[in-house]
Amino acid sequence: MERKNIRLAVVYGGISSEREISLRSGAAIYEALKRGGYTEVSLFDLKRDNLGELLALSPELVFLALHGKGGEDGCIQGMLELAGIPYTGSSVEASATCMNKIHTKEILVHGGIPTPKFITLYRSEVESEQDAACTLLKKIGIPMVLKAPCQGSSIGVRIVKKREELEDAIREVFAYDAVLLAEKFMEGTELTLPILGNRHPRTLPIVEITSENEFYDYEAKYTQGMCRHIIPARIDASIREKVEAMGTRAYIALGCSGLARIDFMLDSRGDPMIIEVNTLPGMTEMSLFPDSARYAGISFEALVDQIVTLAWEKTKEDS
């Protein structure tokens, strides 16, 4: 079968707090596939009550453009697995693992891959925000970063640099989930490493990120002029090699396939540490992954075509 004649559904939208970004990613992917010669492409806006409509389309492959809960966490991947429909990106297991920042960091630690010091705290373990604050001050200390473990696009993230801000931050993060991740805050250069591939992944150029805000938050990511993507990153060759090696190790250890974007911070000595892993990175006009690919000479049309090709290859490898 000629691959570009397959029935291909770009699934976007979804039910998470990142729905608007997903709509932008999906629309960009759809247009790029059409420009790239795919003849039977449809856009499907996933909602809570229309999974049957997606199956009724009988797609031969689904290009996942979802972000956040329900799309990036293994849920839609599991449904597609049951229906026998190939899809782009990582498997159920890898998607679920990487969506959960706590599970990601536990695997990194187990594999000896550097990541900032962290602890987890369950709401059921503490009597109040004040009690939680005492625990975090003792085990992590100021400054720290609090994260809702299963949100994306920096939603549910608070940097705390003053003791008096801590209880409000705890309350805010616990509003997203019954558990929070507390990390030692790292002041330094933020980098991201896009990776393409299945069993033999290859790295794309490292991107250095600067933000007009305190960190690369939702506003900075998706507001024109609020951030800069510096390609190639302004780092020494030795650091570049470390980032690429660490990122590849993490990609393989976490079981990623198709594509992923791995975020790093450089510590005070210039040593890289992995912050988190994104298995369905943004594909909007402001997104990091397409920017890095373009610098490597890969057009957006060629990039989405490679992602489709990797999905087909993975289907053959797993059969």
Q: Is 305 a known active-site residue?
A: no
Q: Is 261 a known active-site residue?
A: yes
Which of 25, 95, 278, 292 is an active site residue?
Answer: 278
Instruction: Give CA–CA dist 176/115, Å, rounded.
Output: 23
Which of 73, 217, 263, 305 is an active site residue?
Answer: 263
List residues bridging with 191 in a β-sheet.
208, 264
Which of 100, 261, 287, 292 is an active site residue?
Answer: 261
Q: Is 73 a known active-site residue?
A: no
Instruction: Give CA–CA dist 159/169, Å, rounded.
Output: 8
Q: Is 276 a known active-site residue?
A: yes
Q: Is 90 a known active-site residue?
A: no
Instruction: Give CA–CA dist 77/82, Å, rounded.
Output: 9
Which of 38, 176, 218, 222 is an active site residue?
Answer: 222
Which of 12, 18, 30, 68 is an active site residue?
Answer: 18
Which of 14, 95, 282, 291 is an active site residue?
Answer: 282
Q: Which of 209, 214, 213 is nearest to 286 (CA)?
A: 209
Contact 229, 294 (CB under 8 A): no
Instruction: Give CA–CA dist 202/251, Å, rounded.
Output: 10
Which of 72, 183, 244, 276 is an active site residue?
Answer: 276
Q: Is 282 a known active-site residue?
A: yes
Q: Is 18 a known active-site residue?
A: yes
Alpha-carbon dihedral 43, 29, 289, 63, rounded to 10 degrees: 50
Amino acid letter at 80? L
Which of 25, 153, 287, 292 is an active site residue?
Answer: 153
Q: Is 222 a known active-site residue?
A: yes
Instruction: Give CA–CA dist 284/148, Å, rounded.
Output: 24
Catalytic residues: 18, 153, 222, 261, 263, 276, 278, 282
